[in-house]
Amino acid sequence: MAFLGNLIWLIFGGWLLGTLYLLGAIILFPLLPFLMPMVSYAYWPFGRRPVSKKAIEAYKVENNMPIDEDKWAKSSALIKFLGTTVWVLTFGWILAITHLLAGIANLIACIFIITAPLALPNALANFKLIRVAFAPFGVNLIQASLADDIDKAQAKSKL
């Protein structure tokens, strides 16, 4: 089902949004290794979800799983701040507005009964990608089933 959703997404504008992410990653080439997962997520958003790195670490600690750090986690706070600031000031806000407008356009397309099954999932995916557009370095992309398990574990720990 995720493949079909991704195919529909790609045909109806996902290629444009993915290309914008790729353009931003190429122009800001020092950040390219950190942005490539977000580029692939912009092309194929269904079946995966963005989850904060802190939530993933808490889940791994709770379930006695090894914590593996990525390159971005090993960076200094100054590098993280500068990378995030440069991204937000150059491409982040443009991509967030693009996702917002595309999501609203898909919601308007839901008015027509025939396009609702295609437009509603795309609208929700666009709204989900707004957070990734602003802060791509604070999230990891994981399978949706694992993301649901992490959400349940977080809710259970808050009780």
Percent of the chain having pLDDT more than 70?
94
Residue-level pLDDT at 104: 94
Percent of the chain whose predicted confidence (pLDDT) is above 90:
20
Helix (H, G, I), strand (E, B) or coil at 25: helix
Range 144-155 average pLDDT: 87
Q: Look at residue 71 in the predicted model and tell me its pLDDT.
A: 64
What pLDDT was estimated at residue 72? 64
Q: At what angle do helices 116-134 and 93-109 cross, to 10 degrees?
A: 170
CA 62 from centroid of its chain's CA atoms: 24
* Structural contact between residues 20 and 129, judged by C-beta atoms closer than 8 angstroms: no
Of 48, 16, 45, residue with least CA distance to 123: 45
Q: Give pLDDT, residue 70.
A: 67
Q: What is the pTM of this model?
A: 0.82
Predicted confidence band of residue 19 (pLDDT cuts 50, 70, 90): very high
Which residue ranges make up each domain of the chain?
A: 2-158
pLDDT at 127 over 70: yes
* Top-confidence residue, 72 or 147: 147
Q: What is the pLDDT of residue 73?
A: 65
pLDDT in tens, 31-73: 888 888 889 999 999 999 988 888 888 888 888 887 776 666 6
